[in-house]
Amino acid sequence: NAGVTQTPKFRILKIGQSMTLQCTQDMNHNYMYWYRQDPGMGLKLIYYSVGAGITDKGEVPNGYNVSRSTTEDFPLRLELAAPSQTSVYFCASRDLWTENTGELFFGEGSRLTVL
């Protein structure tokens, strides 16, 4: 199994450009997340989804959009990129089927620089 795959790994954007970070998982997890991590900080939740067709905002959703048309895919769209969106982005998924499950499985991360 590949787990969680996100692309691209690196990207440089100019201010005002748009792009989509792709994320797909092959573990049949219902829950999927997008986090951003700024230097020296923990993970801040951007958007999450509890199943296909359902998305909700996290702590820092401004400037981003998501969709969840299938269980496997959860792309993150950046509209009108700004320098404040320079960060490392992590996609993650998990299941919460039992009381003893809940660990997040992370993709390798996407380093985005906006100049």
Partner 1 sequence: EDKVVQSPLSLVVHEGDTVTLNCSYEVTNFRSLLWYKQEKKAPTFLFMLTSSGIEKKSGRLSSILDKKELFSILNITATQTGDSAVYLCAVDDRTNAGKSTFGDGTTLTVKP
* Candidate list 43, 46, 76, 78; residue touching partner 1; CB under 8 A: 43
102 binds partner 1 (CB under 8 A): yes
Q: How many CB atoms lie within 10 A of CB 10?
A: 9
Q: How far is the CB of 64 from partner 1 (least distance, A)?
A: 16
Name the CA radius of gyration of the chain, rounded.
14
Question: Residues 6 or more apart from 52 whose CB is under 8 A from it?
Answer: 68, 69, 70, 71
Distances in whole angstroms, Cα of residue 38 to Cα of each of 42, 66, 69, 99, 112: 7, 20, 28, 31, 11
Q: How far is the CB of 86 from partner 1 (least distance, A)?
A: 18
User: Of the listed pieces 13-21, 67-75, 78-86, 99-107, which binds partner 1 according to CB under 8 A?
Assistant: 99-107
Q: Find residue 113's DSSP bridge partners.
A: 12
53 binds partner 1 (CB under 8 A): no
19 binds partner 1 (CB under 8 A): no
- Please report, as ranges, the residues that interact with partner 1 according to CB under 8 A: 31, 33, 35, 40-45, 48, 50, 56, 58, 90, 94, 96, 99-100, 102-109
